[in-house]
Structure 1
Amino acid sequence: MSENSIADLLKAATDRAVPVVRAIPDDRLAAPTPCAEYDVKALVNHLFQVIVQFQALAAKQNSDFGTEAPDVVAESPDWRERFADEAEKLVAAWAAPGADEGTTGAMDMPARTVGSMALLDLTVHAWDLSRATGQVYEPAPESSGVVAALREAVAGLGPTARKMGVFGEPIPVPEGASELERLLAETGRDPRWTP
């Protein structure tokens, strides 16, 4: 894999997301998150749907986001470990030769852009879940290139994502804000959000 391949970036992001999901206590599943439309349980289910559907996209297959996310949390007592397994499969799918080349998905977008969408969800929603459940989120180290790649992706995807209601309007951040805080603010999140 080349430096900063989508698979490398996803691996760095999953290394941060999996411990957050594993540490979600059952008594916080109904708690609010920075994503107003999701409580913790619904956001975990959404993230499951993302990591499964983006495996298909890596293989240049169609994805299905048209249906409601399956309730994996309710259906699987071992959902935390299933999440870790699916996250590992996501990284492997994007590490396959040619996964980040050409175009993929119904919108026929560049594969690298599509991979960046999975990376964004894994990073930002892991932060959402950590905030909602009283955990401290440590972003992937700067050397991994994750946050830098995401800020670049958000700059390109932002206008369309805001029109579609995927991102909120950017929020101003104070001087000295971290790169992660800037990324969160660019997606319309308040980096200082608390439940």
Structure 2
Amino acid sequence: MATKTSELLAVAAPRTVALVRAIGDDQLDLPTPCAEYTVRGLLNHVYDVTVNFQRLAAGQETDWSVKTDHLAEPGWRDRFAAETERLVTAWDDPASEEGVAPGMGLPRSTLGLMGVVDLVVHGWDLARVTGHPYEPAPETIAALHGFMDEMGPMGRQMGAFGPEVPVGVDATELDRLLGRTGRDPSWAG
């Protein structure tokens, strides 16, 4: 079972990359479960997260206010795949999980898991709206439930997660995770 951030990323990243590669240009303007984003906006957000979390793994500060239209240039799907590989490599350095992140005041190990949350939950968001398959690994979902146990309330206070959405008793573990992050697992654009 994957336990290190790099191991969780190594399992999650290829699934998200495959999904991103499957998204058609004709789907970029569709709304997503993240009300503030279209598919294009959410792809750019996930791309920014992937790049910024590489810096965080190296113990560097990052400016979250800088937004880039990564989709403006041809080949953005391949560049996203390369950046996710760099992300996994960055978090494979044992030093990436040590200490507190500059400018953020959170343990770097916690930040690494935030990167996994972004790939997985936004992967679901993108899959849901575009109709492409997406199934995170069970060990990834289990690790993210642990993360939500620890960080969910603070994440809600900071606006990273919406209010918890109740799910039925027969909900899957993924649906339970989505509900905990403020997603309605039955969302249909």
Are residues 1:153 and 2:150 paired?
no
Tell me the alpha carbon deviations over residues 49-103 of structure 1, each in whole angstroms, 9 at most, x when there is no partner. 0000000000001111022x200111x2101111100000000000013111222
**Unaligned residue ranges in structure 2 (runs of 5+):** none
Where 1:170 maps in the other structure, the secondary structure is: coil
Q: Superposition RMSD on alpha carbons, in Å?
A: 1.3
Cα separation, partners in 2 of 1:100 and 1:180, compared to 1, 3 Å: same
TM alignment of 1:1-195, pairs within 5 A: 3-67=2-66, 69-74=67-72, 76-140=73-137, 142=138, 145-195=139-189
- For residues 120 and 46 of structure 2, the distance between their equivalents in structure 1, rounded to whole angstroms, comes to 10
Matched letter for residue 80 of structure 1: R
Where 2:97 maps in the other structure, the secondary structure is: coil
- For residues 100 and 163 of structure 1, the distance between their equivalents in structure 2, rounded to whole angstroms, comes to 24
CA deviation after TM superposition for structure 1 residue 3, in Å: 4.8
CA deviation after TM superposition for structure 1 residue 18, in Å: 0.4
- For residues 58 and 186 of structure 1, the distance between their equivalents in structure 2, rounded to whole angstroms, comes to 26
**Unaligned residue ranges in structure 1 (runs of 5+):** none
CA deviation after TM superposition for structure 1 residue 15, in Å: 1.7
Report the count of equivalent residues. 189
CA deviation after TM superposition for structure 1 residue 111, in Å: 1.2
Where 2:175 maps in the other structure, the secondary structure is: helix
Matched letter for residue 70 of structure 1: T
Tell me the alpha carbon deviations over residues 136-173 of structure 1, each in whole angstroms, 9 at most, x when there is no partner. 21112x2xx21111111122222222222221111111
Q: % of aligned pairs identical?
A: 49
So what's the TM-score if we normalise by structure 2? 0.96
- For residues 103 and 41 of structure 2, the distance between their equivalents in structure 1, rounded to whole angstroms, comes to 25
Where 1:166 maps in the other structure, the secondary structure is: coil
- For residues 3 and 139 of structure 1, the distance between their equivalents in structure 2, rounded to whole angstroms, comes to 13
Matched letter for residue 160 of structure 2: V
CA deviation after TM superposition for structure 1 residue 116, in Å: 0.5
